[in-house]
Amino acid sequence: MILMIFIYLFKVVGAPFLDTRRCNQFLTQRQQANKHQGHHSLHGIVFTEQHFRPTFNKHKDQICKGFHFRFNLHIQEREKGAEANFFALGVYFLFFCVREHSESFKWRDPKEGYEYNFTDPPLLLIYGHERWWHCFEEAARGGDEEQAIARVEECLLWADEEAQQFAETSHAIHLYN
């Protein structure tokens, strides 16, 4: 269900400061490097540059540069088990924004509230673990890009293992199989 939420809520993402050319290059590189690695594959995801003007939230009434994401796999590829991980796409996109736009990118202030919580950063509520916070903070500090990407990929692998373990553990209490 989380996958579906991401697909529908975040089909179009961006910000006024986003360098779409460099972001496109970065996402394309990640797509090629991880083409068949299930836990962070972007295979079959198409990202198209798009400008838009949000009508609410952080960048309300500002022209934002960003991307429209969609899934596009041929039936034969799906039958061979090819898959795309939209969670990984969101992580890589956020990683790029944090790393390449550290001067402009700002986390939402917890005092503004998120899901009735006014103390914890929204990132922790969305991602559910401090590991992600540390990963993105490390990315914002700069340093060696390959090492930072390796850290992100470790977190993605960890998240995939956690999801698999949860699926196995919770299977016994499912009402429907």
Dump pLDDT digits (tens) for 48-88: 999 999 898 888 999 999 999 887 765 555 555 556 788 88
pTM equals 0.84
Contacts of 93 (CB under 8 A, 6+ apart): 13, 23, 27, 67
**Which of 1-5, 115-119, 149-153 is least confident?**
1-5
How far is residue 140 CA from its own chain's centroid?
Answer: 16
**Closest-CA residue to 11 (of 63, 66, 70):** 70
Burial class (CB in 10 A: 0-12, 13-18, 19+), 136: buried
Q: List pLDDT tens digits, range 7-54.
A: 444 578 999 999 999 999 999 999 888 876 666 678 778 889 999 998
For the chain, domain boundaries: 2-173
Architecture of domain 2-173: Alpha-Beta Complex (3.90)
